[in-house]
Amino acid sequence: MRKISALEITKVVKELCVGAACNLPPDVAAAVKSAHAKEESPLGKEVLGQIIENFEIAGREGLPMCQDTGIAVFFVEVGREAAMDGSLADAVNEGVRQGYKDGYLRKSVCHPIKRLNTGDNTPAIIHASIVEGDMVKIKFAPKGAGSENMSRLKMLKPAEGIIGIKAFVVETIREAGGNPCPPIVVGVGIGGDFEMSAMLAKKALLRPVGAPNPDHDLSGLEKELLELVNELGIGPMGFGGTVTALAVHVEAHPCHIASLPVAINIQCHADRHKEAVI
């Protein structure tokens, strides 16, 4: 067994929180710049220019690119030969607490009904799994509410099939309009059960922007959905334009013979994610 200290986890999580808030990953930056080159609407182009200027300032000056520094979402893979000297959840939450405080990030987590802010952006949302090996891999993807709020899940009838899936994606993006800060990345989870479809949609967002699903049918669907979404004309910030989405990512999983769950998780252009391996 390889020993891993909880303090190390906390330290890494703290760095991930601050680093992700201020630095747009290179794949996303490249996708936004390519959108800027492609956008046909002059106003849309100008908006994309401001978005680029903003993330460049943020990276250079170490400032959060968006004031919504998100609810802290983690995907943690723990090698079965890694032995931690404490609770994973405690270690991660302590890292969030320190990162959001010392990094001057906004604390955006509250009681769902009383709406009282917890004050330190905890609890984080932690999805952990046990894998082979002795390493711990932590993926951090802070999620802003503007885009999360426009996400949808629907239990389709199997008879609705691929036509129903496409219609649901297009309708969801149309309805979202400018709210989720387009250009967006669209994560689509097809199959599994109720909660798994949502997890698939969220995991789809963790892929590098525009990296196709290795399955040929699904990558074809991604391409078609991206065209359909961009034909909506919503454009940057909803002001009208040819680039509404930077990419559509689809993940699929077998489901019950009576079900067709479909979840759509929307991600804004400030598509922040960062990972570390311990």
Partner 1 sequence: MTEPIKITPPIVDADVMRLKAGDKVLITGVIYTARDAAHKRLVELLDRGGKLPFDVKGQLIYYVGPTPAKPGQVIGSAGPTTSGRMDAYTPRLLALGLKGMIGKGARNKDVLDAMKRHKAVYFAAVGGAAALIARSIKKAEIIAYEDLGPEAIRRLEVVDFPAIVVNDAVGGDLFHQGVEKYRRAP
By CB under 8 A, name the binding residues for partner 1: 40-44, 46-47, 50-51, 53-55, 57-58, 61, 63-69, 104-108, 115, 117, 119, 145-146, 149, 170, 177-179, 181, 228, 231-235, 237-242, 268-270
> CB of residue 18 vs partner 1: minimum separation in angstroms?
11
Q: Residue 262's closest CA among 186, 198, 190?
A: 190
Whichever of 54 and 259 has its CB closer to partner 1, that residue is 54
What are the φ and ψ backbone dihedral angles of 245, each rounded to 5 degrees? -125, 145
Whichever of 79 and 183 has its CB closer to partner 1, that residue is 183
Q: Residue 222's closest CA among 214, 14, 194, 183?
A: 214
> CB of residue 264 vs partner 1: minimum separation in angstroms?
17
Torsion of CA 278, 92, 274, 120, to 10 degrees: -150
> CB of residue 106 vs partner 1: minimum separation in angstroms?
4
Whichever of 34 and 54 has its CB closer to partner 1, that residue is 54
Q: Angle CA(220)–CA(25)–CA(69) in degrees, nearest 5?
A: 110
> CB of residue 33 vs partner 1: minimum separation in angstroms?
15
Q: Contact, 213 vs 222, CB < 8 A?
A: yes
What are the φ and ψ backbone dihedral angles of 80, each rounded to 5 degrees? -70, -15
> CB of residue 17 vs partner 1: minimum separation in angstroms?
12
> CB of residue 46 vs partner 1: minimum separation in angstroms?
7
Whichever of 1 and 116 has its CB closer to partner 1, that residue is 116
Whichever of 61 and 132 has its CB closer to partner 1, that residue is 61
> What is the rounded distance in angstroms from the CA atom of residue 164 to the CA atom of residue 167?
5
Whichever of 37 and 258 has its CB closer to partner 1, that residue is 37
Which residues, 6+ apart, have CB-to-CB distance to 56 below 8 Å? none
